[in-house]
Amino acid sequence: MEYFFRHSEDLKTNINMPLVWGILLIYLILIYKLRHRRKILPIQLVSLSIIEIALFIWYYEDKLLFIREGLPLYHCRIAAFMMAISYFRKDYKLSNYFAWLGIIGTLIAFSFPDPSKYLWPHITNLTYVLAHSLSLGSALMILTNQRRKLDLKFIGKISLAMNLVIYLVNKIASANYGYLNHLPDSFPINFPSPVLYLGISLGMIFLIYELNKINLKKLLTIKN
């Protein structure tokens, strides 16, 4: 257990991403089969929150690491908590926004992986896989069963305000939440942080606005 919770970083990580994609596909097929069983979604959202809190506690053992990497200011972490909060408060419009954010964040995180530099097994790489997978599955269930239309103004206000807070925290704490200071190493190019703030914000607004036009419930309904 001491190895699993260690704080001394390795030189690299060794997450098998093809295997992760395979497991994710199986999980999503299961979610598709169970998408109308509404009791499953609250269980998933609570499980997702517990995973994020467990990681939060682990980071807190190293105060500097906690400030620079452990705060819930990555977009996927924000989406995880806000999906749960807004869903249980029955604010389905807000839960739809963060569901789309969770989908976008998970697909980017798995396509351009940037987990902490710890060899498997470790709490950071386990939660990296589990939290993103649960976030994607929960988001699809929210958008299938509680779909709401989002207008451009609503999406723009949340995206710009959220990213501004992240951007300011990054400057104060010398952190890189939301990759608003620099892109992951797996990206072939990089840009100055003000450009990243504007570009990522506009990209989020465009993607969420366009994706919200998709009616997942209708799309996933198979006509006999």
104-132 confidence digits (pLDDT tens):
999 999 998 888 889 989 999 999 999 99
Decide if pLDDT at 174 tops 90: yes
Structural domain span for residue 164: 2-222
Query: Could you give the number of structural domains in the chain?
Result: 1
pLDDT-derived band at 194 (thresholds 50, 70, 90) equals: very high
- What would the mean pLDDT of 127-156 be, rounded to a whole number? 95
What does the pLDDT read at residue 222? 52
- Three-state SS string over the chain comes to CCCCCCCCCCCCCCCCHHHHHHHHHHHHHHHHHCCCCCCHHHHHHHHHHHHHHHHHHHHHCCHHHHHHHHCCCCHHHHHHHHHHHHHHCCCHHHHHHHHHHHHHHHHHHHHCCCCCCCCCCCHHHHHHHHHHHHHHHHHHHHHHHCCCCCCHHHHHHHHHHHHHHHHHHHHHHCCCHHHCCCCCCCCCCCCCHHHHHHHHHHHHHHHHHHHCCCCHHHHHCCCC
Q: Quote the pTM value.
A: 0.92
pLDDT at position 35 = 85
What pLDDT score was predicted for residue 112?
A: 87
